[in-house]
Amino acid sequence: GENVEQHPSTLSVQEGDSAVIKCTYSDSASNYFPWYKQELGKGPQLIIDIRSNVGEKKDQRIAVTLNKTAKHFSLHITETQPEDSAVYFCAASFNDYKLSFGAGTTVTVRA
Amino acid sequence: DAGVIQSPRHEVTEMGQEVTLRCKPISGHDYLFWYRQTMMRGLELLIYFNNNVPIDDSGMPEDRFSAKMPNASFSTLKIQPSEPRDSAVYFCASSFSNGELFFGEGSRLTVL
């Protein structure tokens, strides 16, 4: 089955700086790569996703890049704000449904 | 829509007791998923349904776990008998075909 590794496990950044989270996956058949944000006591919420026919996607301060050859994808958050503090999960799937999640990255934005 | 609704939000029970977790998906969504989240294993897919039919239950840990979806607006995840290692947050999620996955707020289970 698919194996997704996520790094780093924790990330502390100064407000206004950028944050980058990296994931690698094992199954070359995977073609859907979503990113979720989970706040304390809540369920994960989709923040951005990318499919294998696209190399990069951007939505305001967040962007995701995908390198299918190297089997890795990354989340970039620019101009971080305190409300960006949360746990972020990457995931990979070949059929949109059976998502394999990374272990998560706890992001802390220091004011 | 109110989103995916799960109950109970918190459950504390003793080993050996039966536990039933409930989920109401977003109206119109034809896929429903049950996930388990623990510190050690992260987010694991237990089972998912399409149009009320179980499609893949390969993530269900053992026979003590069972899930049903009697209609499009209701699903249950049952653990019988429960064990301390079942302690986790259980999430229900729903989606349209090829659509965004919407998670509920989870049911935190503690088995003593």
CB pairs under 8 A between A and B: 41
Please state the rounded mean pLDDT for residues A32-44.
95
pLDDT score recorded for residue A61: 97
pLDDT score recorded for residue A96: 67
> By the 8 A CB rule, do B89 and B46 touch?
no
pLDDT score recorded for residue B1: 62
Give per-residue pLDDT as tens, B67-100. 999 999 999 999 999 999 999 999 999 999 877 8
Q: Picking from A44-48, A51-55, A81-85, which range would have the lowest pLDDT averaged per residue?
A: A51-55
Bond from prior residue into B54 cis (ω within 30 degrees of 0): no
Token pair, residue B37, equals 């989240």
* Cα(B70)–Cα(B77) distance, integer angstroms: 12
Which 8-state DSSP code applies to residue A93?
B
Closest Cβ opposite residue B104 in set A43, A89, A98: A43
Closest Cβ opposite residue B42 in set A41, A43, A101: A101
Checking if the pLDDT of A97 tops 90, the result is no
pLDDT score recorded for residue A2: 85
B104 touches chain A (CB under 8 A): yes
Mean pLDDT of chain A: 94
pLDDT score recorded for residue B89: 98
> By the 8 A CB rule, do B18 and B75 touch?
no
> By the 8 A CB rule, do A84 and A35 touch?
no
> By the 8 A CB rule, do B94 and B33 touch?
yes
Give me the residues paired with residue B89 across strands. B37, B108
Which 8-state DSSP code applies to residue A18?
-
Backbone angles phi, psi at A28, to 5 degrees: -65, -15
A97 touches chain B (CB under 8 A): yes
Q: Is there a contact between A43 and B100 if contact means CB atoms under 8 Å apart?
A: no
Closest CA to B31 of B7, B8, B4: B4
Give per-residue pLDDT as tens, A72-95. 999 999 999 999 999 999 999 987
DSSP string covering B28-96: T--EEEEEEEETTTEEEEEEEEETTEEEE-TT--STTEEEEEEETTEEEEEESS--GGG-EEEEEEEE-
Classify A16 in phi/psi space as left (phi over 0), alpha (psi -120 to 50) or beta: left
Give per-residue pLDDT as tens, B46-59. 999 999 999 999 99
> By the 8 A CB rule, do A7 and A22 touch?
yes
